[in-house]
Amino acid sequence: MTDPARSIGPKLAMLLGQIYPNIDSAILSSMVLEAFWPDGKPRRQRGRRRGNSLWSQKDALLITYGNSITDGAHKPLDLLSDFLDRYLKDSLNAVHILPFFPYTSDDGFAVSDFRSVNPQLGDWPDINRIAQEFTLMSDLVLNHVSSQSNWFNAYRQGQAPYDKFFFEASPDDDLRDVVRPRTTPLLREVETSNGPRHVWCTFSHDQADLDFRNPEVLLEFLRIIRLHIDNGVQIIRLDAVAFLWKEIGTSSIHLPQTHAVIKLMRLLCDFATEKVILLTETNVPKAENLSYFGLGDEAHAIYNFPLPPLILHAMMSGNARYLRQWQRGMPPAPMGCAYLNFTASHDGIGMRPAEGILPDDEKQAVIDTVRDIGGLVSMRTMPDGSESPYELNTTFYDAMSRTFAGPDTHQHARFICSQTIVMSLEGIPAFYIHAMLATANDHDGVVHRGMNRAINRHRWDYPSLRALLSDPTTPNARVLADLSARLKIRQKQAAFHPNATQFTVNMGDERVFGIWRQSLDRHQSVFALHNVSDAEVSVPAAALNLIEDQEWVDLLSGAPIDAAADELTVAPYQCMWISNRT
């Protein structure tokens, strides 16, 4: 007989009691189990134990839209599949295809149908084919839905159950403390069969927020998760999850019920026979972001959101002081959890995660430099009605074209250094397609599409892209080749397991960012050094504590390292992976 303490029932009932205290948890538990495991689908008798076997040093992720590559003749998902197979299959093993569903705005994040693939991209068999070759991540856009969706139309017509699917408020309510990342009005007045209503819209008036106080909303999303799993998805990205639960008179972000919903989803995933990883997307300051690990019982993985602005600052300033200070204070991920490390994504470079880390004058220097290279700055509305920089809009490659001192000739080396830091740190590295391809800022896209984020969402013509990649002298080919080469080296190093030990090393010079990684079995050490400046820097070899009776080598250059040397010399923007095992 199964130990009740190890079965799903008691824990599930407890979580449902926290989320819906006025609903019979036994009845609701049965409904949850049926939604996630319909038609008698099998589940584990015991939950998966927490460990570090869900990922390894071989894992690296590409972030892309389904139509980042087009040619006007073939399905974009077919082209993406060809691109992955042709250029990345030996260096990356996972892909995040950003929302691939029908939508009406926000480049896919105003979903109009959660159960279909956008026919302009392809269909489910195309998704299945990619999922057979790569670990696939999909988006669960669970905070809101398109205002032109069937759900919202049914709500306006008073049709059950959708008549209670959306969060309503009154302009007279106390909404002063609501935290949100946009400057548009929070409430949108709409006509319904029951008269005018004001619908909560955290992001835009085309994205109506759902009301998870209604358990039917939760049940519907559990069915959608099951659909993703059945179509080969292994990583579920919980988009904008921090805003999921709302309460009038509060900040309506990070509320206890939000964390309880994530715990419930994690519980179900841990009892799934399939491998399922939950990733939370919470672009907020450090402590708030870390809270989504819970006690190791919420997200399997969280985005390491402070990394993009801190690496950007380090590379622009030529000084890793703030990056090192932040990294020293970062805890290792809990057992069974991991960080997702990145510098670039489909969104801009969020500035909120730098709050409390970068001084205001340093943040302003970054903002000014991004504007100097033609980047843009998006704002958010503060509770007092003022506006504050929310994110910087630029490709990361173009952002590396100059420093605080001005433009120079080090763009390529500076960019490769920035991405190597991502590869070196504890966690799973992720790379936006436009970082892998050294894409320049798309100013025409901003004009044509009327949104700042379009600057970093270029759509490549595949024949043109292939021509660029076939010429080894182009920035696109050079970046792809150099990043791919380093990822291939990384795959073979046990010290780069996402949960391998990590310590920040004080190199005695703030221009060199150093970390020590040690494999889980303690057999391999890698000292990763990154010179974020345009100067040659000599650092004391003693800072690395290289064991003298072992042979050490820089994995990136192949050069032997003398453990008895007094100093190590690091060239401008050079990275070194000094290892005792090759």
Mind telling me the catalytic residues? 239
Q: Tell me the DSSP string of 281-340.
A: ---S-HHHHHGGGTTTTS-SEEE-TTHHHHHHHHHHHT--HHHHHHHHTPPPPPTT-EEE
What are the residues facing 569 on neighbouring strands? Answer: 538
Query: For 176-179, which contacts have Cβ atoms below 8 Å and span 24 or more sequence positions?
Result: 176/383, 177/249, 177/250, 177/251, 177/252, 177/383, 178/250, 178/251, 178/252, 178/253, 178/383, 179/251, 179/252, 179/253, 179/383
Cβ(48)–Cβ(270) below 8 Å = yes
144 is in an annotated binding site: yes
Task: Count Cβ neighbours within 10 Å for each residue of 400-420 and write b for 16 or more, e otherwise.
Answer: bbbbeeeeeebbbbbbbbbbb
Rounded-to-integer distance, Cα 167 and Cα 214, Å: 10
346 is in an annotated binding site: yes
Query: Tokens in use for 277?
Result: 């990883």
313 is in an annotated binding site: no
297 is in an annotated binding site: no
Centre a 10 Å sphere on the Cβ of residue 247 and count the other Cβ atoms it contains.
12
Cβ(580)–Cβ(524) below 8 Å = yes
CA pseudo-torsion sign 95, 456, 337, 493: positive
453 is in an annotated binding site: yes
Run of H or E including 122: none
Phi/psi region, residue 89 (left: phi>0; alpha: psi -120 to 50; beta: rest), is alpha
368 is in an annotated binding site: no
Rounded-to-integer distance, Cα 582 and Cα 580, Å: 7
* Residue stretches of the annotated binding site: 106, 144, 237-239, 346-347, 453
* Residue stretches of the annotated binding site for substrate: 106, 144, 237-239, 346-347, 453
